[in-house]
Amino acid sequence: MIFSCNVQETLNNLLRQEDTDNDKKITIEDKGPKKFNIITAEGITLEIAGTYYLSNLLQELVLAKESGSQVVNINSGNIFEKPVDRINRMIKEYFWDGLTRRIDADGIRKALVDSKSSELSLSNLESKDYYLYVPFKDLNALEYYKKVAADIKNINIIVVKLPEKITPEYVYSINMKPGVLSLALKKNKIGKIEGVPFVVPGGRFNEMYGWDSYFESLGLIIDGRVDLAKAMADNFVYEIEHYGQILNANRTYYLTRSQPPFLTSLALAVYKELPKNNKSKEWLAELLNFCIKEYKTVWSSGSKITKNKLSRYYGAGIGLAPETEETHFDSLLKPFAEKTGISIREYHKKYLNREIIEPEIEEFIKHDRSIRESGHDTSYRLDKISASLNTVDLNSLLYKYEIDIAEIIKNEFDNNFISYDGSIENSESWFKKAEERKSKINVLMWNEEKGFFFDYNFVKEEQTGFESATAFYPLWVKLATREQAETLVKKALPLLEFAGGIAGSSKESVGIINEERPQKQWDYPNGWAPHQILIWEGLKNYGYDEIAERLVYKWLYVILKNAVDYNGTIPEKYDVVSCTHKVFAEYGNVGTEFDYISREGFGWMNASFKVGLTFLNNELKNKLNEVIPPEKIFE
């Protein structure tokens, strides 16, 4: 049914009646009658009842208003759309576009100006200028961006050429002038220079992030947007070429920090969707070349390789991480501030400026920066020991790099590939690297009695014993034996599985949470999209399809229930024990702050919904559409 109504009048009446807490949303917390009548232009009375349907009406009216319509024809099918179908459609039709950025004349403002410009702990920023940093060797980009900056009059953009060698000292020196790092440029069909696009996580995260981009790409590919997934792979090539590594994100304070390595997985996921021709193969060759370069120069050398030849996360840099909110380090700094006799804020400022240096805080910084490189910032799994660990997650991912590189060389390049440094690569040497890593992981990290892969502390030469969802990474990369997989399912899974899916850790491993020992966001009771996806696919690799299906349903139910009850909210993470997006941990929960309609959801959460649906049969999808709790389906 198509009906007509006056947009502004209907919107005003709806909000007046139903948005009783005035938060510009219609949720289960509003106290309105939850029943609204529309008198259409045709004189028909249409009753809309229930939080979910009323919030859909609100969203449709706002979209109509933004299109400039005064009177609009609304399809009642969009209002009464089943929740699975609506979320699926909104992600495809709105969210991906809402999350897409370009750093060029048309998109530079959106890329530079974001909420973190005023949120960061850098309370003594030197100015309100917006900085764009360009690599030393990319002279064409430097010329282009200087022209763009000169043409934009209402914000002051300062384009800075980076030094040829980027050191921690240099990165520290520009902490008070933080900015965005340029990414790849290309010419379109008519010869105009454009930024190669990328997808951001959402909310305050307005940059291209490392491992986020891989998971986002899984959702993009499902939605037929392989162009965007490919573009992000191309931007990672640019980062490795010009910044030396895939960055945590393309901002200046991330120049000394990478992220979990997923480039081979991204390259293969994209290549699978490309036409099988010479152009696609040339693209794969370039990606392979830079995967090899990243493997050799980032993860297998310098501070990231340990004596046992396994790898570790190690985020270099000087001082406290400057990108955090002002109060983030308060529990750390409080006793030192009290001892010094100054306020925490003043002590924090002095520490950022290196006017004060404490050996105990410096030791904390070493591990804290490594935690941030791991992507699991933060967790008691890694707290104060991260730089001393060979982690299960990193070394599993590097095992997959070795296997992927070997198989690409063997299957696509006749077992003969000349890499960036002129060396001739063959599959045998890479398979050998993988077997050596696999052997060390099994010896040092596998615990048969506990049924977990544990991180290995190479300083103490012992397993940490912290029960984490990362124990299942070996299933995703197909490193585990059938017997290990069975043991993980029997012993580890029950400690991590809850009503809403997989928690980041077991409750016991987290320990006591109080004012002195605050909740860490990557630990119990919180669940995260990347863990869910990797565990679903890992279980499927070993034939545990029914268990994977159960976990998928639990996770999608939590996404769906919160979206239905809270005006389409799709956030960064969930409390999987209480099945809520109301997460009380550091940083809050990105993706929950919006007016009237969610424009973006959250990148990897959108992807997890898309990936999850591919695991469910039609019967389970129908039950999900009816928002039937998992406990009523699975015994």
d(CA 551, CA 574): 14
| HEC letters along 39-72 | ECCCCCEEEEECHHHHHHHHHHHHHHHHCCCCEE
Q: Other C-beta atoms within 10 Å of 178: how many?
A: 21
Closest CA to 230 of 273, 294, 188: 273
Catalytic one of 455, 572, 575, 600: 572
Specify the DSSP class assigned to residue 420: T
Distance CA 85, CA 474 (A): 33
Q: Which two tokens stand for residue 285?
A: 């060759």
Q: Answer yes or no: 377 catalytic.
A: yes
- Cα–Cα distance measured from residue 228 to residue 607, given in angstroms and rounded to the nearest whole number: 13
**DSSP result, 97-166:** HHHEE--STTTHHHHH--THHHHBS-TT-S-S-EEEEE-TT-HHHHHHHHHHHHH--SS-EEEEEPPSS-
Please give the helix or strand (H or E) that residue 19 lies within, else none: none
Spatial distance between the Cα atoms of 511 and 559, rounded to a whole number of angstroms: 27
Q: Give helix 392-412 / helix 278-294 axis angle, nearest 10°.
A: 140
The residue written with tokens 């830079």 in the block is 290
Tally the C-alpha atoms within 13 A of residue 402's C-alpha that lie toward its C-beta: 23
- Residue listed under structure tokens 């390049």: 413
How far apart are alpha carbons 635 and 261 in whole angstroms? 37
Q: Helix (H, G, I), strand (E, B), or coil: what is residue 220?
A: helix
d(CA 578, CA 167): 45
Handedness of CA 443, 447, 451, 457 (dihedral sign): negative
Left (φ > 0), alpha (ψ -120 to 50) or beta: where does 439 sit?
A: alpha
Is-catalytic flag, 129?
Answer: no
Whether the Cβ atoms of residue 294 and residue 261 lie closer than 8 Å to each other = yes
Provide the terminal-to-terminal Cα distance of the chain, rounded to the nearest Å: 40
Which residue of the set 377, 402, 404, 467 is catalytic?
A: 377
Report the catalytic residues: 377, 572
